[in-house]
Amino acid sequence: MGKIIIIAEAGVNHNGDIQVAKKLIDVAVDAGVDYVKFQTFKADNLVSKSAKKAKYQSVNINDGDDSQYAMLKNLELSHENHLELMAYCSERKIQFFSTAFDVEGVNYLNDLGLSFFKIPSGEITNYPYLKAIALCGKPVVMSTGMCSEIEIKQALDVLVKFGLKKESISILHCNTEYPTPMKDVNLKAMLAIEKTFGVQIGYSDHTLGIEVPIAAVALGATIIEKHFTLDRTLPGPDHVASLEPIELKEMVTAIRNIELAMSGDGEKKPSESETKNIAIARKSIHTNKSLSKGHLITDNDIISLRPGDGISPMEWENIIGKTLKADKNEFDKLLFSDFI
How many domains does the chain fold into? 2
In a domain? residue 322:
yes
Say yes or no: 93 and 61 in one domain. Answer: yes
CATH number of the domain residue 188 falls in: 3.20.20.70
- The alpha-carbon radius of gyration of the chain (Å, integer) is 30
Together in a domain, 248 and 121:
yes
Task: Tell whether 151 and 182 lie within a shared domain.
Answer: yes
- Judgement on whether residues 179 and 307 belong to the same structural domain of the protein: no
Task: Report yes or no on 249 lying in a domain.
Answer: yes
Between β-strands 200-205 and 5-11, what pairing exists: parallel, antiparallel or unpaired?
Answer: unpaired
**pLDDT in single tens digits along all 340 residues of the chain:** 579 999 999 999 999 999 999 999 999 999 999 999 999 999 888 888 888 877 777 776 667 677 788 888 889 999 999 999 999 999 999 999 999 999 999 999 999 999 999 999 999 999 999 999 999 999 999 999 999 999 999 999 999 999 999 999 999 999 999 999 999 999 999 999 999 999 999 999 999 999 999 999 999 999 999 999 999 999 888 999 999 999 999 999 999 999 999 999 999 999 999 999 999 999 999 999 999 999 999 999 999 999 999 999 999 999 999 999 999 999 999 999 999 9
Predicted local distance difference test score (pLDDT) of residue 62: 67
| Pair (133, 165) in one structural domain | yes
Q: How far is CA 96 from CA 28, 39, 88, 130, in A?
A: 11, 11, 9, 22
Contact in structure between 88 and 82 (CB atoms under 8 Å): no
Specify whether 177 is located in the same domain as 239: yes
Predicted local confidence at residue 64, as pLDDT? 66
Question: Do both 87 and 233 map to the same domain?
Answer: yes
**CATH, residue 331:** 3.90.1210.10
- Given this model, what pLDDT does residue 1 score? 59
pLDDT of the residue at 48: 86
Question: Which residues in 74-196 belong to E strands, given as ranges?
Answer: 95-100, 117-119, 140-143, 169-174
CA angle 86/91/96 to nearest 5° reads 30
Q: What is the pLDDT of residue 211?
A: 98
Residue 37's DSSP bridge partners are 9, 97
Q: Which amino acid is at 104?
A: E
**223 plus 307 within the same structural domain:** no
Q: What pLDDT is recorded for position 43?
A: 84
Which whole-number Å values give the CA distances from 45 to 13, 28, 104, in the listed order? 20, 29, 8
* Residue 103 CA: distances (Å) to CA of 161, 220, 261: 17, 32, 41
Q: What domain range is 239 assigned to?
A: 5-261
Any idea how long the chain is? 340
Residue 36 backbone phi and psi in degrees, to 5: -115, 125
Query: Other CB atoms closer than 10 Å to residue 238's CB: what's the count?
Result: 25
pLDDT of residue 315: 98
Q: Residue 241 in contact with residue 227, Cβ under 8 Å?
A: yes
Spatial distance between the Cα atoms of 244 and 231, rounded to a whole number of angstroms: 6
Cα(140)–Cα(196) distance, rounded to whole angstroms? 18
